């Protein structure tokens, strides 16, 4: 018997959308009731072909073209909507894409929009951190969806674990010692999140639709400080961990590294303020994760588990 409901998943070949598509294609409770309509920009690429081979309906749509979004949503019960600010680094452009998704959901008569949102940092910080555009733009889309009475739940992804191994936690060029460097104290809490867990949250959101309409679900496994991140590394890799440490990087050094990597000044400032948010106001404004965990049926990935499979840490002991 054919599945009765369709979930349209945007960014289906990306980190968040890919995880959502996978769980709806593979989870016994979901795959018998749902069909996945996977939306991607290029349906000919390998990740898109793989989704098709697993049973997804793979289609192309453009977030800048509302008519293509309406077409992608027509007949669907639920939609997972996500945008990528870093594609263009254009706050107004990202807001417009999100607005297009909301407008299309309304036009297509969607029963449940799950929007990948974040907090408005300008408001949270009372204007002290006004440049975290990739948070504010998503928050403004959430606000727009609420103003337009869209039946929606808002999923707020945490601090990506994938950004840590080999990225901000790497061997020092001077002595090869592993160093985790951020421009915040080692006590700043990071809500760590494995993007592969996105589907676990969205599964719960869909199964508990009625109670979660209008609510925010915080997508993180646990708050860990920079010091605790390093301690877990030391425990898992005792040899490499002998000289591992946390480095409270000076802000001007952090900015210089980002600019040297090719980021424009405004984007470097944005990422610096994003880090300062962790210590000064909290990624989620200090909110606890208990309520968001209580809805889940599936176990989340811990940092200890994640580092054992991280490519950048392979071969360490």
In the prediction, which pLDDT does 174 show?
80
Q: Which of 49, 137, 251 is nearest to 259 (CA)?
A: 251
Bridge partner list, 38:
9, 58
Q: For 11, list phi and psi in degrees, rounded to 5.
A: 60, 35
pTM higher than 0.95? yes
Q: Which tokens belong to 72?
A: 């992608």
How do residues 123-172 score in pLDDT, each as one tens digit?
A: 999 999 999 999 999 999 999 999 999 999 999 999 999 999 999 999 98
Q: How far is the C-alpha of 172 from the C-alpha of 161, rounded, in Å?
A: 20
pLDDT in tens, 102-137: 999 999 999 999 999 999 999 999 999 999 999 999
R_g of the chain, CA atoms, integer Å: 20
* Alpha-carbon gap, residue 44 to 59, rounded angstroms: 10
Which domains, and CATH codes, for the chain? 5-157+195-219+286-298 (3.40.50.720)
Cα 98 → chain centroid: 15
């Amino acid at each position: 018997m054919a599945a009765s409901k369709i979930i349209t998943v945007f960014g289906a070949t990306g980190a968040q959308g890919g995880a959502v598509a996978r769980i709806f294609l593979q989870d016994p409770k979901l795959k018998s009731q749902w069909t996945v309509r996977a939306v991607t920009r290029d349906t000919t690429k390998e990740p898109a072909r793989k989704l098709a081979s697993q049973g997804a309906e793979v289609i192309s749509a453009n977030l800048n073209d509302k008519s293509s979004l309406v077409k992608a949503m027509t007949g669907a019960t639920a939609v997972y909507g996500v945008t990528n600010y870093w594609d263009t680094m254009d706050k107004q452009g990202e807001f417009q894409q999100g607005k297009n998704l909301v407008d299309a959901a309304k036009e297509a008569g969607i029963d449940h929009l799950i929007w990948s949102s974040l907090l408005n940092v300008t408001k949270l910080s009372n204007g002290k951190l006004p440049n975290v555009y990739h948070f504010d733009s998503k928050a403004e889309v959430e606000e727009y969806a609420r103003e337009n009475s869209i039946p929606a739940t808002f999923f707020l992804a945490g601090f990506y674990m994938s950004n840590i191994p080999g990225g901000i936690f790497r061997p020092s060029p001077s002595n090869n010692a592993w160093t985790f460097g951020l421009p915040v104290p080692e006590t700043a809490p990071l809500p760590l999140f494995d993007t592969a867990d996105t589907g676990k949250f969205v599964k719960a959101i869909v199964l508990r639709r009625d109670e979660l309409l209008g609510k925010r679900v915080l997508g993180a496994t646990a708050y860990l400080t920079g010091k605790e991140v390093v301690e877990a590394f030391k425990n898992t890799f005792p040899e490499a961990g002998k000289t591992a440490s946390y480095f409270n990087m000076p802000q001007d050094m952090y900015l210089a590294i980002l600019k040297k990597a090719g980021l424009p000044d405004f984007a470097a400032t944005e990422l610096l303020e994003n880090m300062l948010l962790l210590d000064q106001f909290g990624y989620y404004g200090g909110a606890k994760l208990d309520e968001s965990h209580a809805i889940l049926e599936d176990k989340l990935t811990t940092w200890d588990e994640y580092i054992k499979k991280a490519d950048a840490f392979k071969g360490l002991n």
